[in-house]
Every structure is written in structure tokens, then in C-alpha cells.
Amino acid sequence: MERKLFSKDFLLVVTGQIISLFGNATVRFALPLYLLNQTGSSALYGAVTACAFIPAILLSPVGGIVADRVNKRNIMVALDFFTAAVITVFSLLMGGVNLVLLMTVTMMLLYGIAGAYQPSVQASIPALVSQDRFMEANSIIGSISSIASLLGPALGGVLYSAWGLKPVLWICVACFFFSAVMELFIRIPSPKQDFGGGIWRMVKEDFSGSVHFIRREQPLVWKLVLVLCGINLFLSSMIIVGLPYMITEVLGLDEALYGFAQGALAAGGLAGGVFAGIFARKLAIGKAGKLLIAGAGCMFPVGIGGYFISSAMAVYTVITVCCFLAMVFATVFSVQVMSFIQAQTPLELVGKVIALVLTVSMCAQPLGNALYGVLFEICQGQEFMVILLGGAVSLGIALRAGNLFRELSE
């Protein structure tokens, strides 16, 4: 019997995601901002947020392995309750312990939870939705994430400036608590698997199994993972590092305008998710390479405009529009790739395979951030050349990957 896309259980997953991701986006905006305001140190700010990224990479594959062994609903419920507890403890300890230490531990826990949480959500989709509806389901989940990224920091910024950090934190605690309570009513089919041999043996065997599946049974998927690494290394990292640097340092514009540009990125993700949902049946994996080409191409107007447009606001407008468009293309591409992997992977492997894909591709992100941080520092006065270079390398990767996507569609 075909499972409906908008079944009660899928709607509960979606509703829980709306509440949980809103709280997550808000707290991950407010905590680093509070640290920056209290210390005034951008170096300290960067160090703490860098530390926070490490557990997200390490726990993502663990989350996938657990998602294939334990009921996915129980994982989501437990992690939402645990997140509420972490924020509560932080609120109670504020002012009583060293802020930097407290912030570092809290941020590492929050990012680690997020890394372990998302594979359970992605792995629940094949259990709740029929295969021909994967694209629509993934676009809905992606759109929710984009809406949370758009509204969470905006509302969090208003509340933070008006009443300070603690009210924001208590709102986030309420979000995670209500999300966990709602998720208790989800019913996700969970095939029983053997836990014999101990947790570490299970982790090793399951991780090896997912690597074997990608490299031996689906070698084209492994090549796809390498393409994702290249795009994260040269394109995504350039946007993450370059956007705040170009707007606030090179153009000398107000931080509020940087906030609007970040909002444009989130709006692009939302638009891309909606587009993917509407045109899901027409978005074959064979066309994914064109989306990468379009996304990389968005960087060229930014680089060229920086040389030939004298008005800082005009250049800012070009940057914002191009980042919006690049995010539209990137989101549609991500939905296509995730849906393809879900369709090509056995149900009992899908959680850890998705986690492995996310982990390997995420590993390129900090390397790219470091690379562009050095490049922008060395090439002061020629920053737009760095953007052109990054766009050119990304375009080369996209063009090279065209044959891969055509093979995947066969």
C-alpha cells in the first residue's frame, strides 16, 4: 500500500522540525553574539565556533549508525529533550563560571547534537514516504530549515537587543521541549537489528558497511561525494568566509546589511526548496550538473562588479542578489542528491550512508574556510580576484561532473 506524503506521522515530523529548527537557529545565533559582545574578541569568537564544528563532523556518522539501529522517533525525542537541558544548564551557570569555557562546551554540545539529529530525520523519510515522493518530502524538510534560518536569527536579534540573552534562551528551551513532546506521538517503522558484539564493534562494522556500499556497490555515489567535497571546499567556503568579509571590511558597510545578506541566503534556500517541491517530477539527477554550473556562475558578476562598479551599495546589491540565486541552485541540487541517495540505498543502510556522505562533505568545509581566510588576508586590495578564482575552480568542477550526473541518470 502506497504511503501518502502528508500522512499524520510525516506531518508530525514536519511540525517537530519547524519548532526544533527554529529554536536551534535562534540559540546558535544568540550564543556566539553574546560571546562577541562580552569579550569584544573576534579571534576568540572564531576559536569557539571552530571548536563547535568538530563534534558536528564526528557525531554525524554516529547519528546515522544509531538511526539505523534505534527507533528514529526515540532519537529525535531524546536529543530535543537533551538540548533543552543543555540550554537550561547554560542559563543557570551564566555569571558563575568562566564564560569562554562554558560557551565552548555548550556550543560543542549543541553542534554535536545537531550533527547526530539530522541523520535520523533524513532516515525517517524512506520509512514514512513512498519512493516516488522522496523529492517532495526532502524539499519540505529543506524549506523548513531555510525558514528557520531566516526567521530564527531575525527574531532572536530583536529579542536579544530588547531583553538580553536569557529570555531568548528560555524561548529556545520551550521550543525544544514542545518539539520533543510532539515527536512522542510519531510512529516510524523500525526494523529490529542485532546489537551483539558491543557498541564499538557495531559502530566499526556499520561504518565499514556504509563505506563498502558506496565504494563497491555504488561507486558513482562515491564520485558524487567527491564532487560535493570540491564544491564545499571552493564555493560554499568562499561564500561563508567571503560574505561577511567583503561586506563589512572591503566595502565598509554596516553589520546590519550583512544581516540582510544572510537573510537573502536563507530566502534563497527557501525558494529553492519550494521550487524543488513544485517541480520534483521534472528534476532528474542527470540535470543536477547544470545547477552546479549555474551556482558557480553566480560568482562571476560579483567578481567583475567589484572591479567596475564604484558604488559600495551597488556592489552590495550584486553580492546579495547573486548569493540569493546561488543558494536557490544549491538547495535544489541538495534535494536532488539527497533524494537520489535515498532511492539507491537499502532502507537498513540509508541512515548511515547519508551520515557518511554528510560527514565526508563537511570535512572539506573547515579546510575551505581556512583557505579563503588566508587568501583574503594575502590578497588585500585584490579580494574580488579571489572570488573570480574560486568561481572559476568551482565552475571547472561542475563542468567536469557533468558526465557523472549523466551516468547516474542511466
What pLDDT, in 10s, does the model give residues 230-243? 988 889 878 877 77
| Long-range interactions of 112-115: CB distance < 8 A, separation 24+ | 112/55, 112/56, 112/58, 112/59, 113/59, 113/79, 113/82, 113/83, 113/86, 114/24, 114/56, 115/55, 115/56, 115/57, 115/58, 115/59, 115/60, 115/63
For residue 189, CA distances in Å to 5, 29, 101, 316, 323 come to 15, 35, 41, 49, 39
Whole-number pLDDT of residue 320: 92
Three cell numbers, residue 8: 499524520
What CATH number is given for 195-410 in this structure?
Answer: 1.20.1250
| Of 84 and 378, the one with more pLDDT | 84
Over residues 168-208, the pLDDT tens digits come to 899 999 999 998 888 888 787 665 555 555 556 666 776 77
Q: Which residues contact 350 (CB under 8 A, 6 or more apart)?
A: 68, 122, 123, 126, 341, 342
Three cell numbers, residue 85: 537541558
Residue 131: how many other CB atoms lie within 10 Å: 12
- What letter represents residue 15's amino acid? T
Exposure class string for 169-204: b at 16+ Cβ within 10 A, else e: bebbbebbbbbbebbeebebebeeeeeeeeeeebbe
1 pLDDT band, cuts 50/70/90, is very low
Domain ranges in the chain are: 1-185, 195-410
pLDDT at 138 over 70: yes
Query: What is the enclosing helix (H) or strand (E) of 348?
Result: none
| Of 272 and 259, the one with more pLDDT | 272
Helix H segments across 164-279? 165-183, 199-212, 219-231, 237-244, 255-278
Rounded to 5 degrees, what are φ and ψ at 108?
Answer: -65, -40
Q: Which of 1-15, 112-126, 295-309, 370-384 has the lowest mean pLDDT?
A: 1-15
Mean pLDDT on 20-28: 82
Mean pLDDT on 362-370: 76
Q: At what angle do helices 199-212 and 350-378 cross, to 10 degrees?
A: 80
43 pLDDT band, cuts 50/70/90, is low
Mean pLDDT on 289-313: 89
Whole-number pLDDT of residue 153: 67
pLDDT cut 90: percent of the chain above it: 16
In the block, cell 532516515 appears at 123
Cα 44 to Cα 52: distance, rounded to the nearest angstrom: 12
Whole-number pLDDT of residue 2: 46
For residue 399, CA distances in Å to 219, 228, 230, 390 come to 20, 13, 12, 14
CB 410 within 8 A of CB 220: no
| Of 138 and 106, the one with more pLDDT | 106
CB 379 within 8 A of CB 385: yes
The segment with the largest mean pLDDT, out of 161-165, 245-249, 298-302, is: 298-302
Cα 246 to Cα 383: distance, rounded to the nearest angstrom: 8
What CATH number is given for 1-185 in this structure?
Answer: 1.20.1250.20
Is the fold of 1-185 the same as that of 195-410?
Answer: yes
Q: Which residues contact 134 (CB under 8 A, 6 or more apart)?
A: 125, 126, 338, 339, 342, 343
